[in-house]
Amino acid sequence: MGDVVAMPICSFPGVFFEPEVIDLMSEALDAACKVLRHAGQPKVVREVIARRIIAAASIGERDPVRLRAAALAARQAKLAEASDCFNLVRNP
């Protein structure tokens, strides 16, 4: 097995991940983006999702399912808020 090389993330100075963690983060990013593509989200959202995954990983999360959930959590909150507003308009 080769040497372990830490890789810096430019947007998060001082944050480094081992290659195995980057693989998990990539898996989570691909899964989250797949969900968003099915929801008709633009490709520019990929960077936002990546930043959320990096943020969750930087505080120790390593489970790809939870990383994906963290990345999509804000989207879910916005959908719930929009739904609540829609219900208020329909049922004042």
Look up residue 63 and give its DSSP letter.
-
Check residue 1 and give its pLDDT. 46
Check residue 77 and give its pLDDT. 55
Which domain does 55 fall in, by range? 15-90
Judge whether 18 and 58 are in contact, CB under 8 Å: no
Domain presence at residue 1: no
The span from the CA of 64 to the CA of 88, in Å, is 36
The span from the CA of 41 to the CA of 21, in Å, is 26
Check residue 10 and give its pLDDT. 58
Check residue 61 and give its pLDDT. 93
Judge whether 89 and 68 are in contact, CB under 8 Å: no
CB atoms within 10 A of CB 17: 19
The count of structural domains within the chain is 1
Mean pLDDT throughout 23-51?
Answer: 83
Domain presence at residue 63: yes
Q: Mean pLDDT for the chain?
A: 75
